[in-house]
Amino acid sequence: MKLVTFRAAPDGAGRLGVVLDDIVVDVAGRKMQSDFEPVLERQVHHLLNYAEGILHMGQRDLIWIRVSKTAKEAGLKFEHFGKILHAKLLDDFDTIVDKIQVTIYTEQENVDKWHEKALLSYAQRDERMAGLTDDTVDVFYSCSLCQSFAPNHLCVVTPERLGLCGAYNWLDAKASNELNPAGPNQPIEKGTLVDDSLGQWSGVNEFIYEKSNNAVERMSCYSLMTDPMTSCGCFMCIIALMPSCNGVMIVNREFTGMTPSGMKFSTLAGMIGGGVQAPGFMGIGRGYIASRKFLSAEGGLSRVVWMPKELKETMRASLADRAKEMGDPDFLDKIADETIAETEEAVLEFIAANDHPAPAMDSLF
Ligand code: SF4
């Protein structure tokens, strides 16, 4: 079995560099199963963050790695990334991993080859979730892997809302718990339903309160404005309120331009990360945008007034299905992007001219 993680960018200068590399981890074990692949892959994030002078952020093929100047001067090399993963994966997963080797590719040709294989694997993992809904399970799963840098943050992973890094869906968290019952992915009994539209359950609230060091009293699975989920720093996308449009914008990590909020992704990420609840702003995994539970408390996909063109186009097929269900098959063309509007005023003008539903919906606050 091969685990692949991509697009790390350490240039050794204490800032983001331009080196793209693939870390390919081959693992073998008599009890190994393909369900364990995402669980072990996500450990790359967790384990590299143990090292002094390395900050690993992100998931799957969207990873930022920062290496401090001190670590570089102390002799940190790519080779040490491999040594850390080799030692810790063997140590922490000795019940399933018998042998392991780590290869780091930096030649473009090899990077592209492995990237293609990884994209296939990600698609297969996501497809396994089809048909599972939040209403048909009694148990959600927590993920506390990012508490190493956001101590009060917990993701609640449900069938219809994957972890905000996009790397863990409900089945992955379940497999992780089976592998390591005392590990970072604990079952959460939903308990009594508190509010269907917000996605609040008594069991989830109790669990969050205890495991967030009593910092978060309540958490909605489906709301941006009322008790939203906290954000660590690994989110694939950020949702941000656009008050004058009575809607929200979504920006993905790959988009480096200015957003209509007047902030780039990196500035927004600095504001909302760290494990605090910030009503009106929230980190999410891409897959959640196409979920039927997406911001159901605020009216769902109909609230989205702006997103980068690339995000809209790559998600077009799944979002189009949701738009049809909303009874508005042309809805995606009513969402502005950077080629249409760069300011909140311009977004408002565009959505007003294109009969976007958001302005006529209940006020967001
Ligand atoms: S972002 Fe959430 S699901 Fe992903 S590793 Fe961190 S805590 Fe886990």
Confidence of residue 215 (pLDDT cuts 50, 70, 90): very high
Confidence of residue 162 (pLDDT cuts 50, 70, 90): very high
**Cβ of residue 44 lying under 6 Å from some atom of ligand 1:** no
**Cβ of residue 165 lying under 6 Å from some atom of ligand 1:** yes
Q: Which strand (E) or helix (H) includes residue 9?
A: strand 2-10
Confidence of residue 15 (pLDDT cuts 50, 70, 90): very low
Ligand 1 centre distance from Cα of residue 168 (Å)? 7
Q: Tell me: the pLDDT tens digits for 254-276? A: 999 999 999 999 999 999 988 99
Q: Tell me: the pLDDT tens digits for 126-146? A: 888 877 899 999 999 999 999
**Cβ of residue 39 lying under 6 Å from some atom of ligand 1:** no
Which atom of ligand 1 is found nearest the CA of 147?
7
Which of 232, 237, 272 for mutating ligand 1's site (highest number of atoms within 8 Å of CB)?
232
Which atom of ligand 1 is found nearest the CA of 234?
1
Instruction: For ligand 1, atom 8, name the residue with the nearest CA.
Output: 143
**Cβ of residue 164 lying under 6 Å from some atom of ligand 1:** yes
Instruction: Give residue 5's pLDDT.
Output: 56
Which atom of ligand 1 is found nearest the CA of 285?
1
Question: What is the sign of the dihedral through the CA atoms of 211, 212, 217 and 218?
Answer: negative
User: Is the pLDDT assigned to residue 10 strictly greater than 50?
Assistant: no
Looking at 90-104, 192-206, 218-232, 242-256, which range is the least confident one?
A: 90-104
Instruction: For ligand 1, atom 6, name the residue with the nearest CA.
Output: 146
Q: Tell me: the pLDDT tens digits for 298-334? A: 999 999 999 999 999 999 999 999 999 999 999 999 9
Which atom of ligand 1 is found nearest the CA of 173?
3
Q: How far apart are CA 91 and CA 77, in angstroms?
A: 22
User: Is the pLDDT assigned to residue 179 strictly greater than 90?
Assistant: no
